[in-house]
Amino acid sequence: MADKFRFSTSQVFNFAPDSYLERTSRPVYAVVFLLPFIIFYELGTILINTDVLNRSQVRVVAFVWLQNFLEYVGFGGKSIWAAPALVVVVILLAFQVASGKRWRVWFADMLPMTVECVLLAVPLIVLSLILHSSGSPGADVTVDGSWAVPHIEGPMSSCATIAGSGAGGPAVAAGQGSVMADVVTGVGAGIYEELVFRLILICALMMVLQDVLRFSRIRAVIISVLISAALFSAHHHLDLVSGRLNEHDVFDWAKFTFRTIAGAYFAVLFAIRGFGITAGTHAFYDIIATCLNAFMFGR
């Protein structure tokens, strides 16, 4: 069990104690670093008034899964809106306790962490431009059917419209709202998709592969990364819970390939740098992609 907790708290490499890399891989750092993102997502989803968001709440599918699970175990009423955010914090603090790492946080590290996340998002921006260049097979098209020349794969988020206490509804395509709505959605994806597909899924797979199937650690890591990446990509086109296809995000190989590579990239990053940097990189990719598409490529 200890190995799985170590994997989830970035122990693939043993960084020098109290170095920047070691400090910022701690779960407690993830809590402090991501708290503004969590608040921004919650407030942004509630307050932004767009054609999409004023009909009902548009939430990241991974958030809805977590919300529905919490409803199942007994949360309800107004608490259901804040409960998923609280779960993120509680899970990270539990991993912090299990890791045995120091609790001290240097707030001066927050700015370098932000810069690191932005820089780590750049390779995905470049890859998306390459895969979605003008006329490439499977490239996205604009609403009027013309080729987007060029464009970047938008926020890597699968969304659902939810009403009332959070029951899943029809999927909503990213980009149907305002730029700010897409930024809010992208930030939520960075937190909750990484929580589900990296922190929870990879740790669960590591336990099964190592403890039950007795795979070697390296083999378990490789298989966990590949499964996580494939499911991360697939869930944008298919609701993994209901089995329904997302008609607003039709499958094509360019999208699936990019998202699978991105999922593997996030999984490796998670194994090396921990949850905070990984979720931050995902969120900043979504923010940068949304802004570039809107203000440079006219999407």
**The most confident of 67-81, 165-179, 255-269, by mean pLDDT:** 255-269
How many CA within 13 A on the CB side of residue 140?
Answer: 24
Confidence class of residue 174 from pLDDT cuts 50, 70 and 90?
A: very low
Please say whether the beta carbons of 281 and 186 come within 8 A. no
pLDDT over 90 at 59, yes or no: no
Confidence class of residue 299 from pLDDT cuts 50, 70 and 90?
A: low
Give 201-241 pLDDT, tens digit per residue. 999 999 999 989 999 988 998 999 999 999 998 888 777 66
Backbone angles phi and psi of 158, in degrees to 5: -105, 125
Exposure class string for 282-296: b at 16+ Cβ within 10 A, else e: bbbbbbbbbebbbee
**The most confident of 58-62, 130-134, 160-164, 196-200, by mean pLDDT:** 196-200
Please say whether the beta carbons of 214 and 226 come within 8 A. no
Q: Tell me how far apart the alpha carbons of residues 263 and 285 are, in angstroms, rounded to a whole number.
A: 13
Please say whether the beta carbons of 112 and 29 come within 8 A. no
- Sequence-ordered list of residues with C-beta below 8 angstroms from that of 244, at least 6 positions apart, any chain: 238
Q: Does residue 1 sit in helix, strand or coil?
A: coil
Domain edges within the chain: 2-290
pTM: 0.81
Mean pLDDT, the chain, as a whole number?
78
pLDDT of residue 154: 53
Q: Does residue 162 sit in helix, strand or coil?
A: strand
pLDDT over 90 at 159, yes or no: no
